[in-house]
Structure 1
Amino acid sequence: MTGHGQSSSYVASSPGSHYRGDQPVQMNPQGQPYVQRKGPLRLKGYLHIFDPYSVFKLQSPRFYRKPGYGYEKLATHRHLDCFEREWVGDYDDRYISAYDGKISKLVVQSVDDIYDGAPNSTWRRTFIRNIAPFYLRLANWPLNHVDYDRNGGPTSEDWPMICVKWFFASIAITFVVCCSLVGTPTKAEGQVRHEGRYDPVPYKYYGYPKVARNALEMDTPRGYGSEPNPVAERVLRPRYLCFLRDEGSPAMIMNVEEWITQYKAEKNLSYVFVAYTAEQFRTTEDLRALHQMADAAARNAGVPAYWIGCSCMPEPDNLQEDVYRICDVIRGAHSVAIAVARPPNDTQGINTTDLMLQQWGKRIWTFPEVLLAPAGKDIKVYTRGMDLFNPTEVAKNQFAIKVWKGDAHVARQLVDHYEGNLILNQLELVTLALECLHNRDTTQYLLGDHSYALMGLLRIRPRIDPTDSAFQAFARLSLANDSEQLLERLICVMPKSPHQPWHSMDDAYNAKLWDILPQECTIAGVGNDDTIILDGCRAANIRWKSFAPVAYKKIPSWKRLAAQRLIHLGGFTMLIAMVLLSIPKEQGGAVTVPAGAFLLVYSIILMGLSPWLLRVMYLGKFWGTQGWFFGFEGYMDIDTIERQIFGGRLGRLKWTPYGSPLSRHHKNAHGDCIADDPCSDPKTKAFVEQVKNARPGEQRVFTLVDTGTMTVTLFVAERPPVCFLLAGSEGGMQRGIGCSYDWTTQTMYRETVLRFETPIVDQIFRVPRVKVGFKRPLYPIRGLAEIGEAKGHLSH
């Protein structure tokens, strides 16, 4: 694989790259690097406590900055945690603590530019702290000014400073060792938690779904039966038909059952389905002409009747059911005829049959009328004002290129499916049909009209529920049919655009919906607020407030053991040397002084080597690490991140090559895939700078450090996700849904989707049923100075 990895709509990929060794260097047209570095990043750390806007509190983290915005106090909300403790308070940003299960205020560590910048968030911010042991920072201090990314190592300009810093570091390390109880520094390993697994998400959903898979889980029986998602019966024949009479006489509209009883002619009951659009036939005169065209269509087909929507649904009580059962009427028809006319008050020049037909084809309800027309028969098009006995004939497989030009390639696949030429599986059928239907216009009757139009193409159709939103109608339809876990796959899609609607299946990783495989996850129900109840996924918390020491496992090494013993002896050797040198000659000093001098020289050598010995002790490959998801707002280079966690540049952390739409990678001379710093792409770098001034509801840049795989991922989201739900896999990677938490409704809202290496699945705990939403609504906000901070309390 050459060049960079996937690009997103947020940040386009760079125009080109040059190489220096194995590392890509972005070059401008003048041959100069786009990203000019000025050496390793320096963080202020605890110097931020002297900032006038830093606030102190007793709990960790002890210093933070208040947000610039707050949510309006429109109501008091209630939350019940997994231990049934009740929290009551104002709406604000919170997360579920992995420590005690309570919902705590969200505090996000941020890079200096963001922490010191405009207070443009609704969550608290804190500065990034270096949590590495002090002696490790001392050991790496002599080299921390060297820019390895730029120069590959120390240069002649760096060595004088390295020597000076090395001298002082050696003295300081020796002092630390001598002052410790056992003469050796404290272990750098962190505490093993949850047997090395990632922090769990102590979440429990207590609510009821609007529709459940199992009727026992409903709050009250539905008005139309005890089924959780009742299915509508199929119509075997129309309720009414327009029966032909003598030529020149208008057709007789009659109940089909009564006609069969009266004429005893059930076997000969055939009819033509007449399709039209109200955009072209509106007035009484238009409808009279429409019936004339329908009459001619039935006579030309040699059948005794025709069905037309304006006259064959006369019963107001059954109108709603009849509208959404038209698909059955089409399936039972002898043939389908289309009536077109020039629309009233035409201002677009729609004056030919082709243009009239294209206008007809833009309507949502006309699309299934063509797909469900009897296979193998051409569709006759009747044009008002033209010879009705010589209609235009259009083959079904030509409708895509002739009528549906906007999405011809997708629509043609659906036509071929219903013609039996190219059979789609259920997932492909629903995916392609939904895309086509949402490309068409409709005069909305119910919010779920697009899903109800789709419903006519599927075998099982839930009953119409006027209270459904568009998403709820689609979700109920998906639950009723064997849609191959469509919703489970759809929630794993990473939107290409931040404003992408829920029904769009455009994926930022350019994967198709059928490429995503749900991982032991199922939809248990549909929520009341355009959410789904997801069961069986794995979930891990993200730690935003600070880094933490990382426990790790390494194989024993003689080199590290020797370094440990030498640095252990260094302090004691110097003490013994000082004692021997202080003995007067008359008390045996003549013998002890040479020995003391030798030990002093030996201890000085060990002192000079102490920074190197310490690095030897803690270098080496990890064979296992404690799983943590650390997050911070903004971007830092990989060396700076490693210094904050491990004390120095040790080469342990790597960027993910394809974990995010912002990830970048290249192929080296050996054909290996090498991950690049995302900000080596100048457009990504410019985007990172731009979003520092983002307002609530706008995209921001965050960084995730995964210590389980020792990788770092730069990603985009509106809010910092508080956890990741592993719900599917794709392309040999796990898809993790980064979710923010709306504690007022117990809903996890999708903020981003990242790709993780598959082994982390075994290190993440399962979570009970989770209520998941596709897009978190923006709660009304105002300046924090106007409304004050949110307040709340545990009621019991």
Structure 2
Amino acid sequence: MSRTPPSLHLELNDLDGRNRRRIMPGTYNELVLQPINLDRGRVEVNNSLRRVNNLAVSLLENTPTNFRSTVTWLVTLISFAFTLFSPYDGPLYTGYYETYPRGFSELPWVTSSPMEPSLYERESQTQPLPTPHDATGQEITFALCPRYLMLYDRAHKCWLRCSKQEILKQQRYVAVSYRQSDFFTRGEGENVQKEVLIKSIQHSCLSIGHSAYWLDFQCTGESQEEKNLDLYRIADVFRGASRTLIKIKETSDDMSSSQGWKSWGSRVWTLPEALLGPCCTLCYTVGTGLGPVHDIGLHQVANLAYEHHDKEMAIINTYGGRETLGRIEHLLLLKDAIWRRFSGPPSQSSVANASASEFTAYPAERVYALMGFFEHRIEPNLLETESQALARLFLANYNDRFLARMVSMLPRKISPTSCWYSDEDVYCTKLWEVEPCIQVLAISKTGAVVVDDCRAAVMKWNGFPEVAFQRDKSFKRLICCVLPRFFWLIFLMSLGLLAVSSVLSIFVMGVSFTLLFVSPRLIIYGHSGRVNAVQPWLIGAKGVVTVEEASRMVCGKTEPGPIRFSYNARGSTLSIPHNADIPRGNPSQASIASRLRNVYTLIDTVSRSVYYFQAERVPTVCVFTGLEGGLGRFVLCSEGHGRCEGELHKETVLRMPTHVGDMMRRCDRIAIGGLGDDSQ
């Protein structure tokens, strides 16, 4: 039998504040783990297997060789005889894992359905968002023209701001893209610098035959309410423009203004401004002088302005009409490109100053820049964080199911808050390759995703349970299971025959003891046979448990066991495939895993596999979330950390056979989120 590698170092009493299971809001019970005993070189666990089976195996395996072992064997035999009193015939086979009983019952922060109540709507009623009351969703979402434009009055030879919709709908205009810090700074002298920039833009527009332009600080509202409305529809402004004029700062040490291009391209908003407009109508000028306007292509803009143009070339080719991308891949590439750029400093304004006319930067500015590429947008809000805004945007565009797919991903480092969020996957799987099996319906106040229509099971950590088996029915095995139960009946009959005949009594007593001595083998044979199905269990242990130990503890005997466990070849980050052609794991993964920190073992009786994984906290719930690569995605979550009832935290993700999820019962809605105040 393989032994646990001696190089393994574990704390046997790892029952700190993190290893707790929530039973009621604010109430926890201690989570007891089964550790590894290094001194004995084997797994030391709480064994819950049937006592009669264990004693039968012990009697058959431990043959007496000396006086001490003979006494021990006789004591075991007496214990075995008394266990035959029990009429219990093993556990019941249900065909399902142990169901996760708790659920999320708090009022969520924001929901995907307008019929569901949420804290966001409640706060909006008591503290209305800074949005004009006459702004309707249809007006904002399907804006045909900007709310304001700067028009050239040829009669008076001056520029005027126009807000008449009947004029603006027929007007061809130029949308100006620039970086503010390249041309003016806030504070003293700001107005003078703006005037110089405005005169340069006006000259450029007239030189290319346009008598109207849109510039952000001239064509947006004065109040914060109007600024929110203009930010909501800024994507429509650049989509409806006839030309996009890019303003590049002039640098004295570089005649080609390459530094000016780099500065412009590193800003969050300049990427969507260049992509949303017609790609064949881009033009640019350098500096604030009255120089000429040059036409430029989108590919040339990428080469000049984008430091990561090699990563963004797929986006450029898509908008240039040279190739197409899948919708999810396209949006993710856009998100990554925007997240690589600089955003303004977060706002420090209070709610009371949210309606002031002064400039205010949004904490979720990058999300609002990204939302122009989505069909459904969200209203900007100064009070929400970037993760909250991103979750709201994904909920509003649920047809892409970004949130449901991200739950199944395993990043290299799981965030303490919003653990559902993931831009990468250690299994090298792309987000669009995951088929979600859950429905995300809301976001909790702690930033957790509330999922429904999910299957979840509880993991057992305090010992090996008694596992039920479905076997081939056999009359001979049934007789072998029932016959040992007659030992006490025959023995008591022999005592009763003493008054009749001592010889007959001794004979019957000999028959009873003969039956007792052969009963261990009868019990083992009666519980053998081909196993058709195994009761589903997810059994966890801290440290490394070998497949030999797993088979012994689950089956109650070593050789030949009714089922054989094997190492998993592709289910976890610690799995190593075998060199042979068969899809089995390499036994060397047990030795490698034993040298790592925070290693746990998961034994699945359905797939008959042993998984090794690393986690910061002990996972107690397994949630079936998606499909990928012919396997299911199972998120292992810990309890007792969130501030809401039914909130879990992702610890790791395993790839297990899909049919494992079919044996998990559906549970109530749960929240997969971050670590709350309870974990501090």
Q: TM-score range by the shorter chain?
A: 0.7 to 0.9
Question: 1:429-456: CA deviations, max 9, x gaps?
Answer: 3322222221211014223222211111
User: Residues of 2 paired with 1:328 and 1:237: CA distance?
Assistant: 7
User: Residues of 2 paired with 1:143 and 1:440: CA distance?
Assistant: 71
Verify the 8 A CA contact 2:46 2:464 in the aligned structure 1.
yes
Q: Does 1:759 align with 2:646?
A: no
RMSD of aligned alpha carbons:
4.6
Distance 1:744 1:327, change over 3 A: closer
Distance 1:494 1:281, change over 3 A: same
Question: 1:543-587: CA deviations, max 9, x gaps?
Answer: 22332211111113577568658978999999999999x9xxxx9
| 1:354-369 matches, cutoff 5 A | 354-369=258-273
Verify the 8 A CA contact 2:543 2:594 in the aligned structure 1.
no
Deviation of residue 66 (structure 1)?
8.2
Deviation of residue 771 (structure 1)?
2.6
Q: Which amino acid aligns with 1:487?
A: L
Distance 1:578 1:522, change over 3 A: closer
1:638 counterpart residue number: 547
Distance 1:339 1:513, change over 3 A: same
Q: Secondary structure at the match of 1:514?
A: helix
Q: 1:553 aligns with which of 467, 470, 493?
A: 470
2:276 counterpart residue number: 372
Q: TM-score, normalised by structure 1?
A: 0.68
Q: Which amino acid aligns with 2:452?
A: D
2:627 counterpart residue number: 729
User: Residues of 1 paired with 2:413 and 2:217: CA distance?
Assistant: 41
Question: 1:652-697: CA deviations, max 9, x gaps?
Answer: 32333222222222242xx211123463463x3322xxx2xxxxxx
1:74 counterpart residue number: none
Distance 1:330 1:251, change over 3 A: farther
Q: Does 1:534 align with 2:442?
A: no
1:28 counterpart residue number: none
Deviation of residue 368 (structure 1)?
0.3
User: Residues of 2 paired with 1:576 and 1:218: CA distance?
Assistant: 73
| 1:257-272 matches, cutoff 5 A | 257=164, 267=170, 269-272=171-174
Q: Which amino acid aligns with 1:371?
A: L
User: Residues of 1 paired with 2:57 and 2:193: CA distance?
Assistant: 86
| 1:783-794 matches, cutoff 5 A | none
Q: Does 1:326 align with 2:326?
A: no
User: Residues of 1 paired with 2:87 and 2:76: CA distance?
Assistant: 12
User: Residues of 2 paired with 1:115 and 1:738: CA distance?
Assistant: 30
Q: Secondary structure at the match of 1:406?
A: coil
Verify the 8 A CA contact 1:427 1:484 in the aligned structure 2.
yes
Deviation of residue 289 (structure 1)?
4.3
Q: 1:772 aligns with which of 665, 668, 672?
A: 672
Q: Secondary structure at the match of 1:216?
A: coil
Q: 1:749 aligns with which of 639, 649, 665?
A: 649
Distance 1:481 1:162, change over 3 A: farther
Deviation of residue 617 (structure 1)?
4.1
Question: 1:570-608: CA deviations, max 9, x gaps?
Answer: 99999999999x9xxxx999x999x99x999x959x95x
| 1:524-603 matches, cutoff 5 A | 524-557=441-474, 560=477
1:339 counterpart residue number: 247
1:281 counterpart residue number: 183
Verify the 8 A CA contact 2:420 2:448 in the aligned structure 1.
no
Verify the 8 A CA contact 2:643 2:678 in the aligned structure 1.
no
Verify the 8 A CA contact 1:289 1:384 in the aligned structure 2.
no
Q: Secondary structure at the match of 1:703?
A: strand
1:434 counterpart residue number: 335
1:676 counterpart residue number: 586
Bigger CA drift: 626-635 or 400-409?
400-409
Bigger relative contact order, structure 1 or 2, given CA contacts below 8 A and separation 6+?
1
| 1:650-729 matches, cutoff 5 A | 650=561, 652-668=564-580, 671-677=581-587, 679-680=589-590, 682=592, 684-687=593-596, 691=597, 700-729=598-627
Q: Which amino acid aligns with 1:659?
A: G
Verify the 8 A CA contact 1:552 1:624 in the aligned structure 2.
yes
User: Residues of 1 paired with 2:657 and 2:116: CA distance?
Assistant: 36
Give the unaligned 5+ runs of structure 1.
Answer: 1-36, 43-52, 54-63, 71-91, 117-125, 146-159, 692-699, 782-796
User: Residues of 2 paired with 1:245 and 1:144: CA distance?
Assistant: 104
User: Residues of 1 paired with 2:90 and 2:548: CA distance?
Assistant: 19
Q: Does 1:626 align with 2:502?
A: no
1:20 counterpart residue number: none
Question: 1:703-741: CA deviations, max 9, x gaps?
Answer: 222223332222222222221222222222222222223
User: Residues of 1 paired with 2:68 and 2:339: CA distance?
Assistant: 66
Q: Which amino acid aligns with 1:252?
A: W
Percentage of pairs with the same residue: 23
Q: Secondary structure at the match of 1:196?
A: coil
Verify the 8 A CA contact 1:253 1:311 in the aligned structure 2.
no
Verify the 8 A CA contact 1:678 1:714 in the aligned structure 2.
no
Question: 1:206-242: CA deviations, max 9, x gaps?
Answer: 322222333332256644699xx96744432223333
Q: Which amino acid aligns with 1:336?
A: T
Distance 1:496 1:208, change over 3 A: same
Q: Does 1:235 align with 2:136?
A: no
User: Residues of 1 paired with 2:599 and 2:579: CA distance?
Assistant: 26
User: Residues of 2 paired with 1:673 and 1:439: CA distance?
Assistant: 40
Verify the 8 A CA contact 1:625 1:708 in the aligned structure 2.
yes
Deviation of residue 522 (structure 1)?
2.1
Q: 2:382 aligns with which of 466, 471, 474?
A: 466
User: Residues of 1 paired with 2:214 and 2:303: CA distance?
Assistant: 27
Verify the 8 A CA contact 1:488 1:522 in the aligned structure 2.
yes
Q: Secondary structure at the match of 1:644?
A: helix
Question: 1:80-103: CA deviations, max 9, x gaps?
Answer: xxxxxxxxxxxx932349xxx996
Q: TM-score, normalised by structure 2?
A: 0.79
Q: Does 1:290 align with 2:197?
A: yes
2:423 counterpart residue number: 505
Q: 2:116 aligns with which of 214, 217, 225?
A: 217
Verify the 8 A CA contact 1:190 1:548 in the aligned structure 2.
no
Verify the 8 A CA contact 1:414 1:429 in the aligned structure 2.
yes
Q: Which amino acid aligns with 1:546?
A: G
User: Residues of 2 paired with 1:403 and 1:720: CA distance?
Assistant: 47
Q: Secondary structure at the match of 1:290?
A: helix
Deviation of residue 425 (structure 1)?
4.3
Give the unaligned 5+ runs of structure 2.
Answer: 347-360
Question: 1:491-537: CA deviations, max 9, x gaps?
Answer: 12122223497543201221111111122x32222322212221211
Deviation of residue 386 (structure 1)?
8.0
Q: Secondary structure at the match of 1:329?
A: helix
Verify the 8 A CA contact 1:400 1:408 in the aligned structure 2.
no
Q: Does 1:94 align with 2:31?
A: no
Question: Number of residue pairs matched?
Answer: 632
Deviation of residue 273 (structure 1)?
1.4
Q: 1:299 aligns with which of 178, 202, 206?
A: 206
| 1:43-442 matches, cutoff 5 A | 67-69=15-17, 93-96=20-23, 104-112=28-36, 128-138=45-55, 140=57, 174-181=77-84, 189-192=90-93, 195-218=94-117, 222-223=124-125, 232-244=140-152, 252-257=159-164, 267=170, 269-283=171-185, 284=190, 286-313=193-220, 315-317=222-224, 318-342=226-250, 352-377=256-281, 379-384=282-287, 388-389=291-292, 391=294, 393-406=295-308, 408-409=310-311, 411-442=312-343
Distance 1:330 1:466, change over 3 A: same
Verify the 8 A CA contact 2:56 2:524 in the aligned structure 1.
yes
